[in-house]
Amino acid sequence: MTLRFYGKGGSEQESCPSVHVDDADGSLVIVGWPEEDQRVLAEIEAVSHIEPHERAFRVPRELKKALWEACGGNDPRFD
């Protein structure tokens, strides 16, 4: 497996949230903060069941450009 790094940010520490793409299958690998707010999880559950082995993650807005590029977008303008 080869991960391609697209960006990191949103933290003042070395362990920042980050965005990667697995070159083997094109899937995204996201490092972020596990979502623990029960209101947010309830909103997600209203439209998409979260299996016991799945987690919702929050990614900071600084990574919007990295996510866009990881999905194949070019030169986005996020303000």
| Residue 24 pLDDT class (50, 70, 90 cuts) | very high
Contacts of 18 (CB under 8 A, 6+ apart): 5, 6, 7, 8, 30, 31, 63, 66
| Residue 76 pLDDT class (50, 70, 90 cuts) | low
Residue 55, pLDDT score: 94
DSSP letters spanning 17-52: -EEEEETTT--EEEE-EEP--HHHHHHHHHHS---T
- pLDDT over 70 at 75, yes or no: no
- pTM for the whole structure: 0.75
The whole-angstrom separation of Cα 29 and Cα 42 is 24
Looking at residue 77, what DSSP letter applies?
Answer: -
| Residue 19 pLDDT class (50, 70, 90 cuts) | very high
The whole-angstrom separation of Cα 7 and Cα 61 is 12
